[in-house]
Amino acid sequence: MGQFKFIETGIDGLLIVEPQMHCDNRGYFMETYNFNDFKAAGINEVFVQDNQSKSTKGVLRGLHFQMSHPQGKLVRVISGEVFDVAVDLRRDSSTYKKWYGVNLSDVNRKQFYIPPGFAHGFLVLSDEAEFAYKCTDFYYPDDECGVIWNDPEIGIKWPLDDISDIIFSEKDLSLKSCLKADII
């Protein structure tokens, strides 16, 4: 039997992944990825790069994607908590420009599988968060694009009640809305 529960989100291919925890008096053990279990769930991509970041409360990273080299991602939080968002940018999808968000934390241990063809971003909700993700293609800086975090056409409902200041990179602040950017 597999070590994961795959939960559909209502957007084709976008899944919440709950790993099985094995706890005892020493702590816990869990698999974070198993090719055979993921393949049985219909995820056939091969991951080629792992990334990790650390951010403070209020940091909003994204919404990023690559045009010619779309990346699938398996994301998780090692410590802290984030609100993680994926936006469907597949033009032929019935859920084109729809978004889904999920809280990922070191407590719930949930992961989020984001197929190629999605924009991705997250907002840090805890004082700090360490975020790790696997990618199905390499990072190509010249291929990176993005959509502004508050694009009115997409309408993401970010949980900002406990966030006094949102912290962005200059690059993320310069992103455009889908309508104005004409990139998707």
Letter string b/e over residues 147-164, b meaning 16 or more CB atoms within 10 A of that residue's CB: bbbebeebebebeeeebe
* Domain enclosing residue 149, as ranges: 4-181
CATH number, domain containing residue 18: 2.60.120.10
Q: How many domains does the chain have?
A: 1
**Whether 120 is catalytic:** no
pLDDT at position 181 is 47
Q: 86-122, pLDDT tens digit by residue?
A: 999 999 999 999 999 999 999 999 999 999 999 999 9
Tens of pLDDT, residues 2-48: 889 999 999 999 999 999 989 899 998 999 999 999 999 999 999 99
In the set 22, 69, 133, 140, the catalytic residue is 133
* CA 181/CA 17 separation, integer angstroms: 32
Tell me how far CA of residue 18 lies from CA of 8, 103, 104, in angstroms. Answer: 11, 12, 10
Q: Is 22 a catalytic residue?
A: no
Catalytic residue among 22, 64, 100, 139: 64
pTM of the model: 0.92
